[in-house]
Chains A and B, each alone.
Chain A
Amino acid sequence: MLENILSVRDVSFRYAASPVLTEVSFDANRGDYIGLVGPNGSGKSTLIRAVLGLVAVPGRNIRLFGIPVADFRDWKKIGYLPQRLGQFNPQFPATLQEIVSLGMLSTKPAFPKRRRAGERQAVMQALDLLGIADLRKKMIGELSGGQQQRAFIARALVSSPELLILDEPTTALDPDTRERFYELLDALNRSQKTTIILITHDIGSIGRYANRLLYLDKRVVFYGGFDEFCHSPEMSSYFGDYSQHIICHRHDHEERELGDL
């Protein structure tokens, strides 16, 4: 039986008079890998922030692991990488290892938050996974954009979350690292049944890995499998045949390239 991890029902939100989300509904079950896509200003980040309780939406229509988000306290189940973390203060006096260790905060009891046995090992594993273990003593502000992004991804992964939410995580990554990152997420999703929601503009790449595509434009335009998206007449009429073909063709092309390897 499918275990519901996230349930969003008829969620609407507006900033002043401008609607940002209109009656958005979707579910995520354990092991789902959802690509959340849509144009700029379509409400993707707002939706994610509402899911995490960072934006208060009226009602109790968002449930994490069956619990209304306002009452949810089991944060160790969640790993989150916000989009704007790249705008942190570059003079901040912390090492990469200290920043990644912050990801373990949710695994500690409320009081007192002391270092626990095995924590260092978990941090080292996350650093190894992202290929940045040798940089652990470096100051976070001294790293390149791509290395910083890997550090923040490591921080989101370090507590082995059951639900991983990543807001445009691949923006600062070079193509090789980006590919390895997608493969890492794919492995996590398959081996640990980690539920993943990944915001991206890279529909072609995400289509190769995600089992569901959520196309948002203030409302849910499409929610389903990638193949379904590519063969949907509604999507053809929404995007136009050409745009749909470009997205889906790129996906086919990349799949063929992978098959040739």
Chain B
Amino acid sequence: MEISDLLSYGFMQRAIIAGSLIACACSVLGLFLVLRRLSLIGDGLSHVAFGSVALSMLLQAHTLLVTIPVVLLASVGIFRLTQKTRLYGDAAIGIVSSFGIAGGVLIASMAGGFNIDLFSYLFGNILAVSSQEVVISCVLCFIVLATVAFFFLDLFAITFDEETASTSGVRTEAITMLLVLLTGITVVLAMKVVGIMLISALLIVPAAAALQVARSFLRAILLSAAFGVSSVIAGIVLSFFLNLPAGATIVLVNLFIFALAASIRLLRKDA
């Protein structure tokens, strides 16, 4: 079977369209998160997403209808904890993250234990994404990317230095809150692509790879997006031909790209 045959399958088209857009949103936001030392926020929010998926199953409600508001609330919780208490971001993420996992396990046990659906969210199942989910993912990813484009200079300014950004008229608290909320939406969407356990890889690794080779901030954003999207497409295709789980393959392709970028950086240094 050739790649052109592969792309004739409807499930493959849906997976590549949704996966590419979600990867683009993840890797663009990931660059801001990595530079602001909020890399692990993806991990924390994905654990909350686990709890809310369990809740949606208990309530027999649509997963996105439950997970998006719950994860957005958790995003606000992390933000408020860092602002109102004297906690560093990682401690606030740790608190919310453990709350999400504990809540998820309790709810899952109340619902009669873990089932196949919950496991599909833990490890992702991009090939099973429905047409409705593709549409929702496309709309939400477009909103996320358009918002980043609209507030690009503000995000750039607070990422470099919050204090001078503030004296340039940037509403630093509002922009940070916006970044955290956009991350919340993206994490929920990325559950389907790589699964709850591997979401932070999709947020962190493309950005980390871009930071190895980028020679300007704009290029870092574009490279991060390119790495994220290409890892998802290559991961889906490889997983199909090699009969491997798609989520894990996407993450391994990401790590390969990172290793390549790090090697290029080392070679440049030696040159």
Q: Which residues of A contact B (CB under 8 A)?
A: 49, 52-54, 73, 75-76, 78, 80-82, 84-85, 88-89, 91-95, 98-99, 102-103, 105-106, 108, 110-113, 137, 139, 155
Instruction: Known contacts A93-B220, A113-B154; decide if A85 and B211 are in contact (CB<8 Å).
Output: no
A113 to B169, CA, bound (A): 11
Most A Cβ at <10 Å: residue of B157, B165, B219? B157
Beyond A85-B161, A93-B211, whether A54 also contacts B166 by CB under 8 A is yes
Residues of B within 8 A of A91 (CB): 211
Indicate whether A89 sits within 8 Å of B216 (C-beta atoms), given known contacts A105-B165, A112-B150: no
A49, A53, A54, A102: the one within 8 Å of B168 (CB): A102
**Cβ A139 vs Cβ B168 within 8 A:** no
Interface pair B216/A80, CB less than 8 Å apart: no
What 1/0 mask marks residues of chain B from 152 to 169 whose CB sits below 8 Å from any chain A CB? 111011001101111111
Contacts of A54 in B (CB 8 A): 163, 166-167
Are A94 and B166 neighbours in the complex by a CB distance under 8 Å? no
Most chain B CB within 10 A, of A54, A102, A137, is at A102
Is A95's CB under 8 angstroms from B216's CB? Answer: yes
Question: Which residues on B sit within 8 Å (CB–CB) of A92?
Answer: 35, 160
Name 7 A/B residue pairs within 8 A (Cβ), A-sorted: A52-B167, A85-B163, A88-B161, A89-B35, A93-B210, A98-B216, A113-B154
Q: How far is the CA of A172 from the CA of B166 in the complex (A)?
A: 24
What is the CA–CA distance of A79 and B217 in the complex, to the nearest angstrom? Answer: 23
Complex interface: chain A residues within 8 A of B81 (CB): none
User: Looking across the interface, which residue of chain B has its beta carbon closest to that of A109?
Assistant: B169
Which single member of B150, B214, B218 contacts A111 (CB below 8 Å)? B150
Complex interface residues of chain B between 25 and 44 (CB less than 8 A to chain A): 35
Q: Is the CB of B161 within 8 A of A105?
A: no
- Is B84's CB within 8 Å of the partner chain A? no
Q: Tell me the complex Cα distance, A81–B167, Å.
A: 10
Q: Which of A82, A98, A110 contacts B163 (CB 8 A)?
A: A82
Which A residue sits closest to B215, measured CB to CB? A139
Assess whether B170 is interfacial by the CB under 8 Å rule. yes
Complex: chain B residue closest to A138, CB-CB: B215
Given contacts A85-B164, A88-B161, A93-B220, contact A105 B169 (CB under 8 A): yes
Pairs A-B, 7 closest by C-beta atoms = A75-B169, A105-B168, A93-B220, A106-B168, A94-B217, A113-B153, A80-B167
